[in-house]
Each structure stands twice: as structure tokens, then as C-alpha cells.
Amino acid sequence: MVSQALITRPDSEHNYPGTLGNKSIAVQFHAGSHYVALRLLEGYIPSEKIKLVHYGSPQNRFEAMWNGEVDAALVMEPWISLAEKLGCKTLCEGHYLGAENASDDMDQETFSAINRAVEKAIDMLNENKRKYLHYMIEDPRIADIIKKYGGLTPEDFHLPRLRYIKPTPYSDEIVEDTYNWMTRWGLLNGTACSTDLVENRITASIASD
């Protein structure tokens, strides 16, 4: 489970989402930041005034916000903590369910073994989240960028924001509600059927354990 936060610069005139109509907001289309932005903003401003712009990676979105190219951006951790450390404003944020995407040729036994290992790691993580935050700070792909903006320590993170739960099958209700929401926004071809798109492989895994 991951959170995406809508952030603005420290000196931004925007202090809540309602003033962001027709203002540029950096997201990555077809990914969590895109969908969470729509879910959060549609409660504040009319859909035709929601102006999302594709900027790609969280680093791109963060820097576009920081440099003033856009009015706001949707980012996840560790960019939320970095933004807040720099005095940026979090206008709202939303959690969403992630998913494991496995190839067709992954057998059930292997998938179950992976999940058992991951579940043990989730227990370790939830016992002491701060102990493992160095993985995010030291990620070789972004470590230098984080340092460029002053760096992060494990103490900079808001731990309740980090929610790790064990793999759970999507319920039919969640699939159906999400499918309907996506087709309403034109993000999914209405002729596709939710049962054609989702294979709840984890359901079989749990049943066989």
C-alpha cells in the first residue's frame, strides 16, 4: 500500500486543493500518481478544471514542482518526506493498493514461496520501520538527488504513512468499483470486462496453503 501526496512549494499561494482548478499538476500518466490525483481532486474541483501534466518519474515531478514549472505535483515516499523537510505543503494525500504483477509462466508453487518470504519481511518491517528506511534514502538511482536537496535521515519520515500489509486478494467489489471508476474517467475501454482483466492468483495461493 502506497501513498501519493499532492505537494506545493513553501511559498505557493495554494493551501488546499480547491484553488488548483486549471493549474498544472505533475503526475505520471497510467500510474498511481495519475489515478490518485483524479480521485483526490474530483472532490474539490470540476473534472474539466483538473489539469494533469505527464512528467514521468517522481524525481521529475518533484523537481518540476520545486522549480516552479508546475503549481503542484503528486509524489510518493521518499519524495513526500523530502518535500516536507524543505517546507513544502502537503495539500492532501491518498493511499492505494499496489499489486504484484506476475508473468503467465510463474507457477503457483514459486509464487507462494515468494509470498511467504515477503510476508516474513513485512512482519520485520512493521516491527521497526525506521530500521529499514535506509533502503529508500540510499537507493542508488536517487541518492545523489536527495543529497542535492539537503538529504534525508530515517527520522524525517512520518511512519504511519508507511503501511505494509500482507498480500490479499482483491475483492470482487473492489475490482468492480475500480473498473467502473476507470471507465467513467475514460481510462479503460468500456468493452473490456473486469473478469478478463484480473486474475486473482493470490486467491488460489491462499486456498492451497
Partner 1 sequence: MKKVVSEISGTVFSLPWLIAQDNGLFTDEGIDMEFVRTLPTGDVEHTENPEEVNPVLQHTAFEEAKVSIYRA
Question: How far is the C-alpha of 133 from the C-alpha of 160, rounded, in Å?
Answer: 13
Place of cell 506545493: 8
Residue range at the interface with partner 1 (CB under 8 A); choices 7-15, 46-54, 82-90, 174-182: 46-54
Q: 57, 90, 183, 200: which one contacts partner 1 (CB under 8 A)?
A: 57
Q: 6, 7, 74, 76: which one contacts partner 1 (CB under 8 A)?
A: 76
Task: Give Cα separations from 142 to 81, 107, 203 (angstroms).
Answer: 14, 34, 35
Q: Which is nearer to partner 1, 13 or 104 (CB)?
A: 104
User: How far apart are CB 163 and partner 1 at their closest, in Å?
Assistant: 11
Pairing state of beta strands 2-8 and 51-54? unpaired
Q: Which is nearer to partner 1, 15 or 147 (CB)?
A: 147
User: How far apart are CB 17 and partner 1 at their closest, in Å?
Assistant: 18
Task: Give Cα separations from 205 to 25, 117, 139, 156, 208 (angstroms).
Answer: 40, 14, 31, 37, 5
Q: 30, 130, 148, 184: which one contacts partner 1 (CB under 8 A)?
A: 30
Question: How far is the C-alpha of 69 from the C-alpha of 191, rounded, in Å?
Answer: 38
| SS3 call for 26 | strand
Angle between helix 108-127 and 201-208 (nearest 10): 90
Q: 44, 84, 85, 132: which one contacts partner 1 (CB under 8 A)?
A: 132
Contacts of partner 1 in 101-130 (CB under 8 A): 101-103, 105-106, 110, 113-114, 116-118, 120-122, 124-125
> Interface with partner 1 includes 139 (CB under 8 A)?
yes
Q: Which is nearer to partner 1, 10 or 139 (CB)?
A: 139
Of the candidates 165, 183, 164, 176, which has an alpha carbon nearest to the alpha carbon of residue 200? 176
Task: Kindly state the helix (H) or strand (E) to which residue 177 belongs, with its residue range.
Answer: helix 172-184
**Concatenated DSSP letters for 38-57?**
HHHHTTTS-GGG-EEEE--S
User: How far apart are CB 78 and partner 1 at their closest, in Å?
Assistant: 7
Q: Which residues bind partner 1 (CB under 8 A)?
A: 2, 28-32, 34, 51-60, 76-78, 98-103, 105-106, 110, 113-114, 116-118, 120-122, 124-125, 132, 135-136, 139-142, 162, 164, 187
